[in-house]
Amino acid sequence: MRHFLIGIMAWVLSCGLALAEDWPAGAKADMNAAGERLRTATTSTERAQALREIEAIAKAHPDAPEAQLLARTLGQKATMEAGPKAMLGALSDLATSGNIPDAQTYGDILAPLMDTIGKMADEGTLLPQAAIELDGAISALNDAAKKAGLPDVAAAISQATGIEGIGEKTTGLIGDIAKAAELARDAPDLAQMNEAETKKFLENMVALLPKGGGPAISGPAFGVFTEQVGWANEMFGESTKALDLVGDAIETGQFDHAAYAKIEERLNDLSKGPWGSDTAKNFFKSLCKHIPIAGAWCDDAFQAVEELVAGVDCDAITCDCGNVGGGLLSGPNTVTCKLQEESIIGECVSTKKITLTCDLDAKGPGASH
């Protein structure tokens, strides 16, 4: 009888483990469909959407094999690809108008900036030094907005987007940044605190790696994820500059195009992500072999965007038409600029190559081609 009970218990435990570790058929089908959309994506926007879909499926099944690893890494990859462009889009709108006339415009600019900051903070890559700088920028921005009769950051985003709960979410994010900044300011050794937080992030990521992956995975893992921390904190730095840029525009009534051009150049560079080295590529290629659910699309998920779309990212094309200038000719020059920009984008989408360039006499300082 005792042996029988032991046998039953073993069977129950084994079934429980099997159920906990298996992917449901529906989840597999959904992930394969999203993976196919990722594999055939031709723009960074399409890729980011597919990556977010896969992230959501993995989060919904946290006990399935490598689900937590997929959710973390693919969510991070989506932020790397979409975050810089979302921020650039918001700032380019401000560059075109040159001012912030009302709360709607203000909220429309802030929403993608704070959304990107929030996604990176959720990934655990916000180091203490970056928290101090961000907290200062947000406080200064709120002060400038108050003087101008504009709502605070959270209220502006809530009013502009109309998304339920986004105001509370943004308030929570700002509070978390403020708490992290307060702890960092009180730290006896800020550099040591940055190192400790980096180590904590790396250990958490490495703990998610497949068991038995061997040295091809465990060896370069710390280096690859260290690159990610470095990239994220450069992004936090550019986020701080972007918030400062918005605050200055509110205070002075003028837009600093020179500062914008520097931010734009850096964000375009950061949109390539941190994982372009041979070490990172080999690491993820080895990792993919240990994630069966990812199947044929796993390599696509971790490759650089420009490699997947024949060397170009059509979403990144701009002739910076909002900043053409030209005095009396600014109107005609802007029209010429936009027409040429559309031609370049059209060529890129149809051929995946770029041979055209922005018009020499009708382009802004932030033109990409």
* In a shared domain, residues 189 and 321: no
Query: How confident is the model over 230-270, as pLDDT tens digits?
Result: 999 999 999 999 999 999 999 999 999 999 999 988 998 88
Kindly give the interhelix angle for 67-97 and 257-270, rounded to the nearest 10 degrees: 160
Structural domain contains residue 9: no
- Asked whether residue 38 is assigned to any structural domain, the reply reads yes
254 and 367 part of one domain: no
What are the CA-CA distances from residue 26 to residues 11, 31, 33, 230 (Å)?
A: 25, 9, 11, 37
Same domain, 295 and 328: no
Domain boundary among 311, 327, 346: 311
CB-based contacts of 327: which residues, under 8 Å, 6+ apart?
none
Residues 208, 264, single domain; the answer is yes
Whether residue 218 sits in one domain with residue 364: no
17 inside domain: no
Nearest of 244, 235, 246 to residue 136 by alpha carbon: 244
What would the pLDDT profile of 62-72 be if each residue is shown by its tens digit?
999 999 999 99
- Domains in the chain, number: 2
Helix (H) or strand (E) holding 347, with range, is helix 330-351
Q: For 183, what's the count of Cα atoms within 13 Å in the CB-facing half-sphere?
A: 14
Same domain (yes/no): 208, 90: yes
- Write down which residue in 266, 281, 311 finishes a domain: 311
- Do 306 and 325 share a structural domain? no
Q: Specify if 112 maps to a domain.
A: yes
pLDDT digits (tens, 9 = 90+) for 151-189: 999 999 999 999 999 999 999 999 999 999 999 999 999
Distance CA(191)–CA(202), nearest Å, equals 17
Q: Are 249 and 101 in contact (CB under 8 A)?
A: no
Verify that 233 and 322 share a domain, yes or no.
no
C-alpha to C-alpha distance for 279 and 276, rounded to whole angstroms: 8
Q: Is residue 10 part of a domain?
A: no
Nearest to 305 by CA among 30, 50, 34, 31: 50
275 and 232 in a common domain: yes
Crossing angle of the two packed helices 166-186 and 153-161, in degrees rounded to 10: 160
Residue 102 lies in a domain: yes
pTM of the predicted model, to two decimals?
0.77
Domain that holds residue 278: 24-58+65-311
The 3-state secondary structure of 204-258, one letter per residue: HHHHCCCCCCCHHHHHHHHHHHHHHHHHHHHHHHHHHHHHHHHHHHHHHCCCCHH
Instruction: With respect to residue 152, please indicate whether it lies within any of the assigned structural domains.
Output: yes
Structure confidence at residue 327 as a pLDDT band (50, 70, 90)? confident
Q: Based on the domain organization, do 289 and 345 belong to the same domain? A: no
My answer on whether 102 and 247 are in the same domain is: yes
**Residues 306, 321 within the same domain:** no
